[in-house]
C-alpha cells in the first residue's frame, strides 16, 4: 500500500520558536519527506531605511537588525564605511571592538544552549545556561550601558572605553563563567538523555555542507574549517586561535562546537586584554563616503556579508546584508529530510536560527 502524504503547517506561532518562521512539512506517516520554509513575518524593510536616514544614523538602525547579534551587525557596517573612506582605526579601538564582539558571541552561544535544552525539555539546564549568560550581560552593561543593544560604535572608532576597574571586573566574571560552564557542559556532553536527542540526528555531511554553503558553527560541526575571524579583521590578526571543528556532522557536534567556542572566546578576551595598548578611541571622520565595498565578518551564527554603495552624499545608495541564518536555512531543509516529525523542533533550533536578521 502506498503511504499517504500529508502536509502539516509548523509555526509561525509555536512553543519551541522564540521567533516566527513557517514551515510546510510534507509527511509520510511520521517521516518528514520535505520541508518548505516560508519567511517574511519579521520583514521590516530595514535596507530601505537608507533612503531616509543618513549614513551615521544608519549605524544605530543596523544595530537593531537583531537583538542578539547587534554588535556584530554594527561592526560589519562601520567596517564597510571605514574601508570605503580609507579610515585607519586606532589600535585601542580595534581591541575594544574585539572584546565586545567576543562577549557578544559568548552571550549568543549561552542563549542557544538554553534554547536547545528548552527544546528537548531539560528545563533546569535552560535555567542554568541563562543564569550564566546574565554574567556576560552584566559585563556588557557595565562597559556599554546596554544589555542587548549597545550603540558604542561609530565610523572611525568606538564611543566608550573600558577602564582598569571594568577590565578587572570583566576578567573576574568570565573566570566565573568558565568555572560554571564546566559544570553545566557535563550535562550537555555526557548526559545520557541529552545524547539520545542529539547524537546521530540532523546529519549534514561535509561535502553537502560545502555544496549548500553552510557557515558558522553548522559548517564547523560538519568538519569545514571555515572561520572569518581568520581573515584578521580588527585585532583578530594579533590573537592566537584556531577554528574549532568537529567531524561528527550531527546535532551533538553543533552543541559541542558552540560550547568549545565559548571557552575560545574567554581565551580571546584574556589575550586581547593582555595585548591592548593605550591610545585614542577614535579618529575624526570628515566628508561623505563615495564608492562601494564588501566586508565579511564572523557573527556568532556564521559569516555575514555587508555591501554598501555610496554616492558621495550623506545618504547611501544601497545597503545589503547577507546573514548567516539565510545560508543555514538551506542546511535546515537538508536536515529535515527523512527525520522524525518529533525531531523537527530540535532541528530548527540546532542551526541557531535568527529570523530577525534573515528577514530584516
Partner 1 sequence: MANVKRSPWLLHYDGSSCNGCDIEVLACMTPVYDAERLGVENTGDPMQADILLITGGINAQAEPVVKQIYDQMPRPKVVVAVGICACTGGVFKDAYNIKGGADTVVPVDIYVPGCAARPQSIIDGIIQARELFQKRSEEHDAMVKAGLTYEQYKKMKDEEEAKKVAAAKAEEDRREEENNG
By beta-carbon proximity to partner 1, the closer residue of 124 and 196 is: 124
For residues 324 and 85, give the distance between their C-alpha atoms in angstroms, rounded to a whole number: 26
For residues 100 and 103, give the distance between their C-alpha atoms in angstroms, rounded to a whole number: 5
By beta-carbon proximity to partner 1, the closer residue of 45 and 277 is: 45
- Among 148, 147, 139, residue whose Cα is nearest residue 96: 139
Which helix H or strand E contains 85, and what residues bound it? Answer: helix 70-85
Phi, psi angles (nearest 5°) of residue 81: -60, -40
By beta-carbon proximity to partner 1, the closer residue of 147 and 206 is: 147
- Among 184, 146, 179, residue whose Cα is nearest residue 67: 146
CB of 42 to partner 1, least distance (A): 4
Do residues 298 and 211 make contact, with C-beta atoms less than 8 angstroms apart?
A: no
DSSP-assigned states of every residue in 2-56? PPPEEEEEE-SS-TT-SS--EEEEEEETTEEEEEEEE--TT---TGGGGGTS-HH
By beta-carbon proximity to partner 1, the closer residue of 95 and 150 is: 150
CB of 130 to partner 1, least distance (A): 4
CB of 350 to partner 1, least distance (A): 18
CA angle 7, 112, 247 (to 5 degrees): 85
Q: Is 339 annotated as a binding residue?
A: no
For residues 251 and 109, give the distance between their C-alpha atoms in angstroms, rounded to a whole number: 14
3-state secondary structure of 204: coil
What residues form DSSP beta bridges with 293?
308
By beta-carbon proximity to partner 1, the closer residue of 5 and 52 is: 52
By beta-carbon proximity to partner 1, the closer residue of 259 and 354 is: 354
For residues 5 and 27, give the distance between their C-alpha atoms in angstroms, rounded to a whole number: 6
Q: Is 348 annotated as a binding residue?
A: no
CB of 41 to partner 1, least distance (A): 5
CB of 118 to partner 1, least distance (A): 9
CB of 251 to partner 1, least distance (A): 21
CB of 65 to partner 1, least distance (A): 7
By beta-carbon proximity to partner 1, the closer residue of 53 and 230 is: 53
CB of 291 to partner 1, least distance (A): 26
DSSP-derived letter for residue 287 is S
By beta-carbon proximity to partner 1, the closer residue of 21 and 257 is: 21
* C-alpha cell of residue 54: 543618513
Contacts of 237 (CB under 8 A, 6+ apart): none
In 3-state terms, the chain is what percent helix, strand and coil (to 5)? 50, 15, 35
Q: Is 66 annotated as a binding residue?
A: yes
Phi, psi angles (nearest 5°) of residue 318: -155, 140
Residues that bind partner 1 (CB under 8 A): 12-16, 18-20, 40-46, 48-49, 52-53, 60-61, 64-68, 70, 111, 114, 126-127, 130-131, 134, 146-149, 354-356
Report the binding-site residues for Fe cation.
69, 357
Indicate the annotated binding residues for Mg(2+): 47, 321
Q: Which residues are annotated as a binding site for Ni(2+)?
A: 66, 69, 354
Amino acid at each position: 500500500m502506498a503511504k499517504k502524504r500529508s502536509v502539516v503547517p509548523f509555526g509561525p506561532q509555536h512553543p519551541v520558536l522564540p521567533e516566527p518562521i513557517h514551515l510546510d512539512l510534507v509527511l509520510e506517516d511520521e517521516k518528514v519527506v520535505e520541508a518548505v520554509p516560508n519567511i517574511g513575518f519579521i520583514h521590516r524593510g530595514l535596507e530601505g531605511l537608507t533612503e531616509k536616514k543618513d549614513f551615521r544614523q544608519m549605524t544605530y538602525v543596523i544595530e537593531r537588525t537583531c537583538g542578539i547579534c547587534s554588535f556584530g551587525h554594527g561592526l560589519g557596517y562601520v567596517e564597510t564605511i571605514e574601508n570605503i573612506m580609507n579610515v585607519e582605526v586606532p589600535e585601542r579601538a580595534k581591541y575594544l571592538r574585539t572584546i565586545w564582539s567576543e562577549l557578544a558571541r559568548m552571550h549568543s552561544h549561552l542563549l542557544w544552549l538554553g534554547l536547545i535544552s528548552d527544546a528537548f525539555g531539560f528545563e533546569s539546564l535552560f535555567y542554568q545556561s541563562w543564569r550564566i549568560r546574565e554574567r556576560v550581560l552584566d559585563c556588557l552593561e557595565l562597559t556599554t550601558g546596554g544589555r542587548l543593544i549597545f550603540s558604542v560604535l561609530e565610523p572611525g572608532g568606538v564611543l566608550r572605553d573600558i577602564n582598569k576597574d571594568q577590565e578587572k571586573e570583566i576578567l573576574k566574571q568570565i573566570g566565573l563563567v568558565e568555572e560554571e560552564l564546566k559544570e553545566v557542559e557535563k550535562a550537555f556532553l555526557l548526559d545520557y538523555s541529552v545524547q539520545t536527542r542529539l547524537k546521530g540526528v540532523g546529519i549534514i555531511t561535509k561535502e553537502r555542507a560545502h555544496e549548500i554553503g553552510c557557515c558558522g558553527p553548522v559548517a564547523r560541526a560538519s568538519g569545514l574549517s571555515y572561520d572569518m575571524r581568520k581573515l584578521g579583521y580588527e585585532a583578530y590578526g594579533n590573537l592566537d586561535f584556531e577554528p574549532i571543528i568537529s567531524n561528527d556532522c550531527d546535532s551533538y557536534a553543533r552543541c559541542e562546537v558552540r560550547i568549545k567556542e565559548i571557552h575560545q572566546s574567554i581565551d580571546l578576551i584574556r589575550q586581547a586584554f593582555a595585548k591592548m595598548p593605550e591610545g585614542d578611541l577614535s579618529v575624526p571622520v570628515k566628508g561623505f563616503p563615495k564608492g562601494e565595498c564588501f566586508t565579511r565578518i564572523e557573527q556568532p551564527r556564521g559569516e555575514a556579508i555587508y555591501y554598501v554603495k555610496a554616492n558621495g552624499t550623506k545618504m547611501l545608495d544601497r545597503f545589503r546584508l547577507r546573514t548567516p541564518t539565510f545560508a543555514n536555512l538551506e542546511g535546515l531543509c537538508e536536515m529535515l529530510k527523512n527525520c522524525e516529525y518529533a525531531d523537527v523542533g530540535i532541528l530548527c533550533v540546532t542551526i541557531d536560527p535568527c529570523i530577525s536578521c534573515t528577514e530584516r
